[in-house]
Structure 1
Amino acid sequence: MPSVLVPLAQGCEELEAVTIIDLLRRAGIDVVTAGLDNRPVTASRGTLLIADTRLDDVLGRTFDMVVLPGGLPGADHLAADPRIIALLRSQHAAQRYIAAICAAPKVLAGAGLLDGRSATAYPGAVDPEAFPKVRLSDAPVVVDSLIVTSRGPGTAMDFALQLIELLLGRESRDQVERGLVRTL
């Protein structure tokens, strides 16, 4: 069973975080949520989220994918955390999946992981002048090799379903999507 780490920063976008966690778990993926600190996470709209564990407690584990929810100031907290940057670079060096949605692709851009790649993000989150090597798209979800990016809360379900497809295949994605009563 694939394993996915979802770091939860104070001020993350709750719709994105919960959608990612929920859909991946529906697919049978081992999802571990990890707070950057030991406090409950107050998301961007005031929703309280309780992480499964602390980031420090899982840094030694190997995950098939690391997924960053967006939101502000959550994405800024992720970008400012040297543990997150080291984790992303290690994940990239090991040729394992990295995914980010909404404002979180700027964390990947800041770490240099989007240089020469196509990506999408919340409008204005990744400044093309600051990151001229990133090929920005307005597509809802962009997959470029082992890096997956998405636009925002409205694309969270498509993003999570794409992650399921990458980890488990189209049949698993379709099964989860049918259970959501979405039009295929």
Structure 2
Amino acid sequence: MMSVRVLVPLAHGCEELEAVTVIDLLRRAGAEVVVAGLESGTVRASRGVQLVPDTELDRVVEETFDLIVLPGGLGGAERLEGDARIARMLQAQNERGGWIAAICAAPRVLAEVGVLQGRRATAFPTQLERHGIEPEDSAVVIDDNLITSRGPGTAMDFALRLIEVVYGDEKAAEVEGALQRPLSHQRY
């Protein structure tokens, strides 16, 4: 199995359900997931859950990742949006055609740094309209190297689609099967 490096930057106010679901499922698939805090120390998520990053963003800002995933949560997305390091990393990732993913409020970060121009996307309602982007009404939208999703309720579908794009259908089905999701659940 190929080695896949994933960056999940965490900021205070991030949506814990989205962050933890993405980190957990990608690790189950075998990805090397680097969880990097924008600042040092524990990250206080939107519902008060304390998350402990693996490292600080400054320590990995010059590294290359196969996939960068931005969890949502309005407070977290606003902090990601205002971080010049995140902007540079996303622009470089997009220029080389690397995978970029964002869920909930985080697609606004992609719009702010210019990687959503002329692209299809979805997000939590009202997060893209100020950038003149009409979000699609889908749980997950993939447009070339960009993957976006709507919110906490779509976090598992989002994470499984991330696995699918980097590892393939078979690995995504394997991870999903081990989760014991009801067979009646309609994927994506």
- Summarize the alignment of residues 54-93 of structure 1 with structure 2, pairs less than 5 Å apart: 54-93=56-95
Which residue number corresponds to residue 46 of structure 1? 48
Unaligned 5+ segments in structure 2 are 184-188
Contact 1:116/1:135 (8 A) holds in 2: no
Which residue in 1 is equivalent to 2:14?
12
**Contact 1:7–1:36 under 8 Å retained in 2:** yes
Q: How many residues are aligned here?
A: 181
Q: State whether residues 20 and 157 of structure 1, in contact with CA within 8 Å, keep that contact through their aligned partners in structure 2.
A: yes
Alpha-carbon offset, residue 124 of structure 1: 1.0
TM-score normalised by L of structure 2: 0.94
Aligned partner of 2:160 in structure 1 is 161
- 1:142 aligned partner: 141
Q: Percent identity?
A: 56
Alignment gaps of 5+ in structure 1: none
8 Å CA contact 2:128, 2:134 repeated in 1: no
- Shift of residue 135, structure 1, vs aligned partner: 4.3
Structure 2 residue identity aligned to 1:56: D
CA distance in 2, matches of 1:33, 1:107: 18
- Opposite residue 56 of structure 2, the aligned amino acid is R
Which runs of at least 4 in structure 1 moved beyond 2 Å after TM superposition? none
